[in-house]
A and B are shown apart, each in its own frame.
Chain A
Amino acid sequence: GAVVSQHPSRVICKSGTSVKIECRSLDFQATTMFWYRQFPKQSLMLMATSNEGSKATYEQGVEKDKFLINHASLTLSTLTVTSAHPEDSSFYICSASYSSNQPQHFGDGTRLSIL
């Protein structure tokens, strides 16, 4: 089946640091990748939709200058949390789809903790 790899699985860093999270589709070409944020005991909230070779589309209320998304190839998208602060601590999950009519396949998530 379709495999999505997300790295790193866990990050602990100091406030003010920028953190990059990678999302790779290992066995298919992902025309679209999605980035979600999940707070404890809550559901997933879509942050942005990323199409290969174009700018990401951000959901309302998500700061595009804070959460930089790059989708430079059909198998890789990155999310950079710039100048992270404790309130950015969360579980970030990516997903990938090779067609808008196909289910999304999810990575295992990245637990980000900002001290």
Chain B
Amino acid sequence: AQSVTQLDSHVSVSEGTPVLLRCNYSSSYSPSLFWYVQHPNKGLQLLLKYTSAATLVKGINGFEAEFKKSETSFHLTKPSAHMSDAAEYFCVVTGKGNAGGTSYGKLTFGQGTILTVHP
């Protein structure tokens, strides 16, 4: 079984200030973890992924996340927010699926965090 908890449903920051979006996970397997971003009425875009290599993962648009096994966390950060970063962010864990033997790679999504960036 696997689950993801995003600790904040909304985060509001000023442009140019740091961003922190928190995510905790649980998994029965060695997990792969992802952060996706969704702009209104759009699909999801992959920001970054952790797949048991380096624990500090750098992604697109200046985002990065650190995998901390001891804390079961995978928080997303960015040093300086831009207005274009305003969107909804999903922390996602993947492991073996539960709908038959072919469902490897099933994603479990967190509840999402809406990031608002003020001028």
Pair from one complex = yes
Chain A residues within 8 Å of B, Cβ to Cβ: 4, 6, 32, 34, 42-46, 48-49, 51, 54, 57-60, 91, 93, 95, 97, 100-101, 103-109, 111
Q: How far is the CB of B86 from chain A (nearest CB, A)?
A: 16
What 0/1 pattern do residues 78 to 96 of B give for CB contact below 8 A with A? 0000000000001000000
Chain B residues within 8 Å of A, Cβ to Cβ: 34, 36, 41-46, 49, 51, 90, 97, 99-100, 102-107, 109-112
* Most chain A C-beta atoms within 10 Å of own C-beta, residue among B43, B45, B106: B43
Specify which chain B residues have a CB less than 8 angstroms from the CB of A111 in the assembled complex: 41
Q: How far is the CB of A101 from chain B (nearest CB, A)?
A: 7
* 7 A/B residue pairs, CB under 8 Å, sorted by A: A42-B112, A43-B109, A54-B102, A58-B99, A60-B99, A100-B105, A106-B43
Main secondary structure of the interface of A (DSSP, over half): strand
A106, B105: Cβ atoms closer than 8 Å: no
A101, B42: Cβ atoms closer than 8 Å: no
Specify which chain A residues have a CB less than 8 angstroms from the CB of B112 in the assembled complex: 42-43
B90, A44: Cβ atoms closer than 8 Å: yes
A57, B34: Cβ atoms closer than 8 Å: no
Specify which chain A residues have a CB less than 8 angstroms from the CB of B34 in the assembled complex: 103
Specify which chain A residues have a CB less than 8 angstroms from the CB of B111 in the assembled complex: 42-43
